[in-house]
Amino acid sequence: MTSPDLVPLRRALISVSDKTGLVELGQALAARGVHILSTGGSAQRLAEAGVPVTEVGDHTGFPEMMDGRVKTLHPRIHGGILARRDDEGHVAAMNAHDIPGIDLVVVNLYPFEATVAKGADFETCIENIDIGGPSLIRGAAKNHDFVAVVTDPSDYAPLLAELAAQDGQTTLGLRRHLAAKAYARTGAYDAAIGAWFANRLGQTWPESVTVSGTLRQTLRYGENPHQTAAFYVTGERRPGIATATQLQGKELSYNNLNDTDAAFELVAEFDRPAIAIIKHANPCGVAEGEDLPTAYARALACDPVSAFGGIIAANRTLDAATAEAIAKLFAEVVIAPDADEAARAVLASKKNLRVLLTGDLPNPAQAGTLIKTVAGGFLAQSRDDGRVQPSALKVVTKRAPTPKELADLLFAFRVGKHVKSNAIVYAKDLATVGIGAGQMSRVDSSRIAAIKSREAAEAAGLSEPGTKGSVVASDAFFPFADGLIAAAEAGVTAVIQPGGSMRDQEVIDAADERGLAMVFTGMRHFRH
């Protein structure tokens, strides 16, 4: 059978939860002589606006019942939607049972996701699971050869524009586009219900899982220009790049988004004013301070060369002094919960600088799921929400860390959680002074971090590198003593690491020989 390109729009069914644009749509359709069927609140809103409308119950001869659970589930509705107009048997059935064709279905679903997000009780969530709506949508989408289906108020304008351009008819191209969007919507809706049910049943990893997202932005390219890319949002209410408002600057790229997310998640780890500078998803400088300008200066001092072209994240409202310091450096993105008017004015002078404001900080201890695709599937794991507390530390050396060393150790370990493995972080006075990331050997990470610290000191005209008198954090255990020895040679006085190696005693002995304090966390922070 050949699908017709143009189909006249004579009858429409409208049943919407979100009534944005409903009256304007009804008026435009009525002006074209379209017969409108509707239900409940939608019919009432249209009638109040003077739009001629027929209640579905009057159309089917069957009243709405069971608190609205049964109203459109009727052959006179679904027959009118599903019948192929070019099939003699279908047409004969329509005539025999007095089933008028329905050429347009406008439905958006009960707000299940929003109801769950508000923390509603179990029964309220169940009542907000739409049944008739998905049935109407799927039926209309299946029969898109003859029926247009609209699930999003943003599509009202394109629909009306098409009717104006095609003398009251819809094209096959538009109907197919709307059908694809409709199936994506019902798929996402069912995925949300399935995820909610699994959560309520305590199923961390249910037998089947569906990941859904809504297109936020088609990106210029992916990690490299020959790769295509897009940014989808899931609806998770976590402050960050998905919730941010972009004040200024060029369009965000794939790498911008990835690095900015890493920066903001890291800076949220700290309670005091803090700055994190990120390059290629790894921190090149992190510091706490009494205020943001102090934290920024100390974070930048860790590795000013790598900071060029980086991402800057703050965990406080940006002020003018911090903005002025940032403006002196070429940066790709600045992200913060907010910025005062003076800071906004300063940053506005850097027209290409992307400035994102999120309104809040993500909670590092909040549970969540991380997903990574692999050939033929994907890996899912819980978010690394582990946060080591002082009471959990085990002193394994003859010397215990001083209170100052302990504060720096905890700071360094929190930073290390956000550094690609193998990760080594040197810190002093709550600021990083050397970072080694992503090396295949842990000793190489120790040496690279020390080299970068030495180079930064030489560039700043300092007499000794920041690693002298610092502490060191390792994201996983030292498999041999060589990594710890390299750190000791760089000048550290204390060490924090998970422990658990077959050679732990060898590493402890090396620390004791050099007068170092070392604590075990019992928690690893691999990040690949």
Place of tokens 């579905």: 56
Place of tokens 């204390």: 494
Q: How many CA atoms lie within 13 A of 505 on its CB side?
A: 1
Q: Which of 219, 270, 211, 257 is nearest to 236 (CA)?
A: 211
Euclidean distance between CA atoms 434 and 208, whole angstroms: 44
Give the CA angle between residues 412, 416, 420 to the nearest 5°: 155
Euclidean distance between CA atoms 285 and 411, whole angstroms: 13
Euclidean distance between CA atoms 115 and 127, whole angstroms: 10
142, 177, 181, 250: the catalytic one is: 142
Q: Which of 95, 101, 110 is nearest to 139 (CA)?
A: 101
Euclidean distance between CA atoms 423 and 224, whole angstroms: 25
User: What do you get for the CA distance between the two ends of the chain, in Å?
Assistant: 53
Contact 397, 513 (CB under 8 A): no
Length of the chain: 528
Tokens found for residue 239: 């402050």
280 is catalytic: yes
19, 250, 280, 404: the catalytic one is: 280
Q: How many CA atoms lie within 13 A of 517 on its CB side?
A: 18
- Going by the DSSP 8-state scheme, the letter that residue 253 receives in this structure is P
177 is catalytic: no
Euclidean distance between CA atoms 224 and 528, whole angstroms: 20
Euclidean distance between CA atoms 447 and 485, whole angstroms: 10
> At residue 405, what are phi and psi to the nearest 5 degrees?
-60, -40
Catalytic residue list: 142, 280
